Structure 1
């Protein structure tokens, strides 16, 4: 019976999040109503609130869904990166970017970031920071792996390098979600140029 209850609970979670993705994209996060979301998920509004305390909780849960999937895909890249710093870093970053709009629209990302900035000490703010930290740690892990393979100069601080690379890809992603007209291809091309310049420096190439 416990296993069946867990299965039903997971199914309700999935239905609520799937409905949230559809509704937030269709109506916009701020305009979407919990009552409409509940109807779409075929649960009661009370059930939605039993699982998520607020609409913001649901939005951050969709962010977590996206980030957990890219972290899983990124782990395989870190384990066996392509040859060359620029290629390896670009492969990881592009994986993040390519997945970024699967669940969230640009408007949803802006709302999620606003939640994390407006209330950094709340559960939502802390969860968003935790997800960012996990992505940053994965970039650091990649740079560490490349240094172990001799592709990053031995004397360089991989922790700081990874944080710099993550901070840049994050800042560029913010520019992307601020501009509804900017395409993913434009974003990736701009970051590739920046990554290429940095790769030359950390590989010690002229």
Structure 2
């Protein structure tokens, strides 16, 4: 019975988040009301407040849901990456980008980023920073895996390379959400161009 209740609670939470993110997309974050989220999720306003204190908390949870799924989808690539350094980096980064707008749109990402910067000591900012760190660590693990396979030169600091790669992909994602005209394909093309020389620099001869 306890397991059933936990499942029902998780299902209800997901309904709330999916309802909220779809409403944010349709009317904008500022115009969306808690009452409208509850109605769309088919829960009472009181039930929604049992999960979240305000609309900002809902956005925090949506960001977490997005990034948790990004990490899970990236895990399969890290466990069995393409042989070449560039191809492996590109596969992981493209996977990140492709999933980045499943629940959130550019406006929602801008609000989330601004909130994390403006309130650095808030629980949301700490959660946002932790998610970024986990993404960064995943990129570093990929580079380490490639090094163990012999695709990346021995002696290269794989963790530092992973951090550098993540910092760049993160910076480019910020540019992407700032520019409404930039498409995901444009973003991926620009980042691929930047990562190709990095892959050449760190790869063993003949393995790129």
Q: State the TM-score bracket (shorter-chain normalisation).
A: over 0.9
Question: Over aligned residues, Cα RMSD in angstroms?
Answer: 1.4
| Contact 1:56/1:115 (8 A) holds in 2 | no
Q: 1:52: which partner in 2?
A: 52
| Contact 2:97/2:184 (8 A) holds in 1 | yes
Deviation at 1:205, TM superposition (A): 5.3
SS at match of 1:175: helix
Q: TM-score, normalised by structure 2?
A: 0.95
| Contact 1:93/1:169 (8 A) holds in 2 | yes
> 1:8-46: CA deviations, max 9, x gaps?
211210111111111110111122111111111121222
| Superposed structure 1 runs of 4+ greater than 4 Å apart | none
Q: TM-score, normalised by structure 1?
A: 0.96
> 1:105-163: CA deviations, max 9, x gaps?
11011111111111121111111111111100100000000111111111111111100
Residues matched between the structures, number? 206
Unaligned runs of 5+ in 2: none
Structure 1 residue 108 corresponds to structure 2 residue 108: yes
Structure 1 residue 29 corresponds to structure 2 residue 37: no
Q: How does 1:2-81 map to 2 (within 5 A)?
A: 2-81=2-81
| Contact 1:13/1:51 (8 A) holds in 2 | yes
Q: Separation in 2 of the partners of 1:141 and 1:60?
A: 26
SS at match of 1:151: coil
Unaligned runs of 5+ in 1: none
Q: Separation in 1 of the partners of 2:148 and 2:23?
A: 46
Q: Separation in 2 of the partners of 1:66 and 1:45?
A: 24
Structure 1 residue 185 corresponds to structure 2 residue 185: yes
